[in-house]
Amino acid sequence: MTDGFHARSMRLHLRLLLALCSALLLAACGSQDAPPPPEDAPPASEDAPAPSKPESGFLTLRPPAKPDQRPAEPPKPLTPRLLILHGGDPLPEEWLKEWKGERNLTIQQRPLSASESTLPADAALILLPPHRLGPLAAQRPLLPLNVHPPLASPLFLHHPYDPGQRVSLPFRWSPYVLYRRRETAEAAFPPFSISWQPEEGILWPEPPAPVRAFWRKSQGASANLPSEEKDLAAWQAIESALLPALFSPASAWAAFLEGKAARCWLPAAYRCRLPAEKRQDGTLDWIIPAFGTLIHLDLLAIPADSAQATAAAELAAFLTSPELQQRLAPETGWLPVNQPLGKETKPSPCPLPGGDWLDKSEIPYPEQPFPIAPESPKEASPQAPDPEPQESEPDDKESPAPLLPPEAISQ
């Protein structure tokens, strides 16, 4: 009996000891938690230092950083852009870099596709033949230019589309020729013939206006006289048949050189700018028909509302200068416009077809003359006729006159 009492006493003591240890352990853990602040404690100040990282390794949130109070830098001004639109043959980039020099200006070029019927609003300088420039100028008049004394041969001046040579500058030209190609110098050339059928394997340039003018010449009529009703009906049938054979000049020339077509009708400049070994390898040939051909003449013009009119006029003066005209043929294949009468084709880097074709050739005209932008009252006042040119000693110190009238520059 005594042993049973002692056993129960030991179990009771163990239970008491375990309860005491549990109470001490709970008290020790509860002391790690921060006591809640009293209800009457003042709020913490915003300028109080951020709590530091506790030793236990737990991070506490810091207040967000204050925004940067420094003033924002003003945006950098955009570099002015001079956009040049051309009909498919751009200007040499080397020439543009040479003219630009230290000018704070960005120069861009892009072709004006045959489907575009309006000029982009930011167009600054236009490089197009008359028949393409006319419809565009009817929507946005061209800026009057100072073009006296003439910068070109009389062959390219004072045509009905710009009788007084007020708003356009002749820049470069080349005759249209009928090309034919053979695979090797020993093979036979395809015969020259103009049947106006696409299955004959000849490529034509778009837009179709010069092709229509060439068709009229092949019928014994002028390229620029109004067509009779029967001629219009005949041409519409031909144009519908030729649509699959109409390509951009650059695409037609590439396809012709690759052997995808045996013949094409394009300006002679395309062959004249080939390396000498390629244009003289015996696989290319050309002809100008006995009735003559058409002249591709590129004009320089400036829209009257162009924001870069002054820079565009300076570039046009650079391109029509005697120095650049002398470089035109050897570097691009196009012929300059400032040669004397009878020597217009002399600068050609490759011999052109012989004969009197130039006397029988025509420049395709637009339907209406180029409109001229409204002039200021001072410029619109009557002016005395230009005096007869007189021979005089050249003055090397005299600077060339600007292309833009003073009133246009002041605007």
Interval 203-224 mean pLDDT: 91
User: Two tokens at 131?
Assistant: 């028949």
Question: Residue 342: is it exposed, middle or buried by C-beta count within 10 angstroms (0-12/13-18/19+)?
Answer: exposed
Helix (H, G, I), strand (E, B) or coil at 121: coil
Report if residue 10 sits inside a domain. no
Please say if the pLDDT value at position 106 is more than 90: yes
Predicted pLDDT of residue 5? 56
pLDDT, residue 194, reads: 80
Residue 403 has pLDDT above 70, yes or no: no
Is the pLDDT at 82 greater than 60? The verdict is yes
pLDDT band at 399, cuts 50/70/90? very low
- Domain assignment present for 138: yes
Per-residue pLDDT, averaged over 263-283, amounts to 92
Report whether pLDDT(395) > 60.
no
CB of 177 closer than 8 Å to CB of 267: yes
Residue tagged 């010449």 (tokens): 217
d(CA 352, CA 109): 29
pLDDT for res 406:
47
Provide the number of structural domains found in the chain: 1
| Domain that residue 107 falls in | 81-378+402-410
Rounded Cα–Cα distance for residues 205 and 32 (Å): 91
What pLDDT score does 270 carry? 96
| pLDDT, greater one: 407 or 246 | 246
* Whole-structure pTM value: 0.74
167: tokens are 């708003």
Among 21-30, 76-85, 187-196, 336-345, the range with the most confident prediction by mean pLDDT is 336-345
Residue 175 falls inside a structural domain: yes
Residue 130 has pLDDT above 50, yes or no: yes
pLDDT of residue 397: 42
Confidence category of residue 360, pLDDT binned at 50, 70, 90: very high
Q: Which residue has the tokens 């009252």?
A: 377
Q: Is the peptide bond before 160 cis (omega within 30 degrees of 0)?
A: no
- Three-state SS letters, 348-398: CCCCCCCCCHHHHCECCCCCCCCCECCCCHHHHCCCCCCCCCCCCCCCCCC
Is residue 85 included in any domain, yes or no?
Answer: yes
**Helix axes of 229-242 and 209-218: crossing angle, nearest 10 degrees:** 120
Whether 394 maps to a domain, the answer reads no
User: What pLDDT score was predicted for residue 192?
Assistant: 81
The dihedrals phi and psi of 88, each to the nearest 5 degrees, come to: 135, -15
* 44 three-state secondary structure: coil
Beta-bridge partner residues of 296? 174
CATH of the domain at 218: 3.40.190.10
Identify the DSSP state of 51. P
**128: pLDDT strictly greater than 50:** yes
- Residue 385 has what pLDDT? 39
What sign does the CA torsion over 215, 219, 221, 227 have? negative
As a whole number of angstroms, the distance between CA 230 and CA 181 comes to 35
pLDDT of residue 71: 74
Q: Is the pLDDT of residue 179 over 80?
A: yes
